[in-house]
Amino acid sequence: MLDQNRVSAMSALARAAGVQADMRRGGVQMLLPDAIFHQRDTAREQEALHKVAMALLQYSPQVAEAEDATVLIDIGASLRLFGGIRSLCRRISQTMLALGLSAEMGCAITARGAWLLAHNAALGKRRGRKRSLSMKTLLPMLDRLPLALLPAASPWLGWLHGIACRRLGHLRQLPRPGLQRRCGKELLQTLDCAYGDENELFSWIEAPPGFRARTELPDRMEHAEHILLFAHSLLVQLTGWLTAKQLAVTKITVQLEHERGRQAIPPTSMLIALAEATWREEHLLRLLKERLAHLDLAAPVIAVSLEASQVEAMQAPSDSLFPEPGGSVEDHHRLVELLVARLGADNVLHAAPQADHRPEVANAWVPVLQKSKPASLPAQLVRPAWLFAKPIALMLRDHRPFYHSRLKLVSPAERIEAGWWNGQLVTRDYHIAEGEDHVHYWIYKERIGKLEGEHTVWYVQGVFG
């Protein structure tokens, strides 16, 4: 990576071949004639830095962007929550991989100390320690770091090396008044901040009021599993934003952008609705994976955007001492959401009884994610466990209704008259009938206008359990 024709970053193979920071392009070509060069793009770096900062908000509300493509995060109050420093570092590494980035981490009591440890690791000094949780262990670690790591020392680096001052420990041994007159206050202030002798103030980033993120794909993609890799980075940023705002999402909108220009194709939009509000990355990723797996793309995808369409306040975790039998309510909601993502919203239904005496109207089914108000239903009504989609007309044998066998009425009539207000009048007498195999059916006869010859027409509408 070149910045003004000088090396600003390199791969591990280039470093092993002898390439060093600040080396000119010609020197690199002498060592590696087949080296691939890229020009530094500060705008893209700043965009990537902002994505990282937004994703890291899930670990601490105090995140700041620093110089030289560095993000600082105050984890003092988060160590116990995430199981210690090692566990937290592993989770942050996984977050960086989900964003498609690599990073070097440094941990220290002071922010500038952590900054120096991380940059020392980025230069390939992997034998040195990168974590220190006490000032006692941090001081000797800082003393061994090269002086070139300090940006404020770069103008006087040649003079300092000339007096055998090559490490931070050497710099601290120099007389402060003379060093300040020659190099200014900034160098000493940076040094004091790293060693904890002076406090350093930061401007913590603030999460925006709404969330919308977009990422360009490196090439046209036609397979859902490839698109999911880039959509995952958007979900990681969404998780950080939700945690920082103490919100949970109930609907997210994903747009897959296709060709632009003269052959422009409208983007493919997916609305993912959740049965229960959540802010968990793994749950959102599982739902998105299911939806993408069942999606037919009209054209190759060149970009993906994600928006939090509907959010609500994050609910506190349950304080119940004993777990719910058969799984918690959250487990049930996650199962429902997974079924909806896999089968479609129109194929996962739940009962929504209506306040109506007509069975075919009262027995309504709606999509499981559709919110419905409970109806005021008549109490203590005997109803079958299974209703047929349409009533079945019965034949008569020996003047008795017949369905697989002759039926015997075992209950008095229940009269239902309803529907006159919308022109769908129903006038029926319902009975419970028992067959010869002792199965009980729900049958009825029409009282008005439904006669066949001299006999009343009977219908069976349901079966009791």
The one-character DSSP state at 199 is -
Task: Check pLDDT > 60 for residue 322.
Answer: no
Return the pLDDT at 41.
87
User: Which pLDDT belongs to residue 390?
Assistant: 87
Give percent of the chain with pLDDT exceeding 70. 92
Query: pLDDT (tens digit, 9 = 90+) per residue, 240-288?
Result: 999 999 999 999 999 999 887 777 888 899 998 887 888 889 889 988 9
Specify which of 121-130, 363-372, 423-432 reaches the highest per-range mean pLDDT. 423-432
Kindly report each contact of residues 396-400 with a partner whose C-beta sits within 8 Å and lies 24 or more positions away, as own/partner.
396/455, 396/458, 399/455
Residue 324 has pLDDT above 70, yes or no: no
Reported as a pLDDT band with limits 50, 70 and 90, residue 440 is very high
Based on the number of CB atoms within 10 Å of its own CB, is 219 exposed (0-12), middle (13-18) or buried (19 or more)? exposed
Of the segments 39-43, 162-166, 349-353, 443-447, which one has the largest average pLDDT value? Answer: 162-166
86 has pLDDT over 50: yes
How far lies 271's CA from each of 151, 250, 254, 256, 317, in Å?
Answer: 48, 10, 7, 12, 27
The phi and psi torsions of 163 (rounded to 5 degrees) equal -100, 25
Per-domain residue ranges of the chain: 2-31, 58-194, 212-315+328-343, 386-463
pLDDT at residue 419 is higher than 50: yes
What pLDDT sits at residue 49? 92
Which residues make beta-bridge pairs with 427? 417
From first CA to last CA, the distance across the chain in angstroms is 73
Residue 381 has pLDDT above 90, yes or no: no
pLDDT of residue 341: 73
Question: Rounded to whole angstroms, how far apart are CA atoms 193 and 180?
Answer: 16
In the prediction, which pLDDT does 206 show? Answer: 92
CATH number of this structure's domain 212-315+328-343: 3.30.1490.100
Residue scoring higher pLDDT (1 or 358): 1
Contact status, residue 241 vs residue 268, Cβ threshold 8 Å: no
**pLDDT score of 453:** 47
Q: At residue 291, does pLDDT exceed 90?
A: no
Strand 301-313 vs strand 212-221: parallel, antiparallel, or unpaired?
antiparallel
Work out the burial of residue 459: count CB atoms within 10 Å of its CB; fewer than 13 is exposed, 13-18 middle, 19 or more buried. buried
Between CA 44 and CA 57 the distance in angstroms is 20
Q: What is the pLDDT of residue 96?
A: 94
Predicted pLDDT of residue 329: 65
Whole-number average pLDDT of the chain: 85
Q: Say whether pLDDT at 64 is over 90.
A: yes
Strands (E), 233-380: 247-257, 268-278, 301-313, 349-351, 365-367
pLDDT of residue 314: 85
Across 13-17, 43-47, 100-104, 317-321, least confident range: 317-321
Q: For 105-150, how does the pLDDT look when each residue is reduced to its tens digit (9 = 90+)?
A: 999 999 999 999 998 888 765 555 688 888 999 999 999 999 988 9
Residue 135 carries which side chain, given as an amino acid letter? Answer: M
Predicted confidence (pLDDT) per residue in 167-215, tens digit: 999 999 999 999 999 988 999 999 999 999 998 888 999 999 999 999 9
For 380, the token pair is 């203590």
* Amino acid letter, residue 90: R
